[in-house]
């Protein structure tokens, strides 16, 4: 596997401001936030794109919305609303090839 910044953050080899961590998921603050709250929720296991998920990935996949809800409540954006999005491949806007979900809120989104 080529070098992956998110794998390095998961392994504590590179810094990241952690917002949540459990056995299968890690959430960090985005270093280039586009909204007042912009977190990245990712599996600890390296999965390049959503197209690469396997049946065993259902554990972390089903946990993502629950973690997003928890973080939205903790960050005070649950009631006003938030966006949870995943980009897939270059044409879909994916820049880092380790699946991650953007949790964004804190202002009106269109």
39-89 per-position pLDDT tens digit: 999 999 999 999 999 999 999 999 999 999 999 999 999 999 999 999 999
Look at the block and give the residue holding tokens 């629950």: 66
User: Any idea which residues carry the catalytic annotation?
Assistant: 100
pTM: 0.95
Q: What is the pLDDT of residue 1?
A: 53
DSSP collapsed to 3 states, 45-86: CCCCCHHHCCHHHHHHHHHHHHHHHHHHHHCCCCCCCEEEEE
Does residue 38 contact residue 53 with C-beta atoms inside 8 Å?
A: no
| Other residues' Cβ atoms within 10 Å of the Cβ of residue 71 | 21
In the chain, what are the domains?
A: 5-105 (3.30.428.10)
Identify the pLDDT of residue 99: 98
């Amino acid at each position: 596997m080529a070098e992956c910044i998110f794998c390095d953050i998961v392994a504590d080899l590179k810094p990241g401001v952690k917002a949540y961590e459990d056995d299968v998921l890690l959430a960090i603050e985005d270093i280039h936030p586009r909204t007042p709250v912009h977190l990245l929720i990712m599996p600890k296991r390296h999965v390049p794109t959503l197209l690469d998920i396997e049946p065993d990935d259902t554990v972390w996949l089903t946990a993502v919305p629950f973690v997003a809800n928890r973080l939205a409540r903790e960050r005070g954006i649950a009631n006003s609303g938030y966006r949870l999005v995943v980009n897939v491949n270059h044409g879909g806007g994916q820049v880092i090839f380790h699946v991650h979900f953007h949790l964004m809120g804190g202002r009106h989104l269109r």
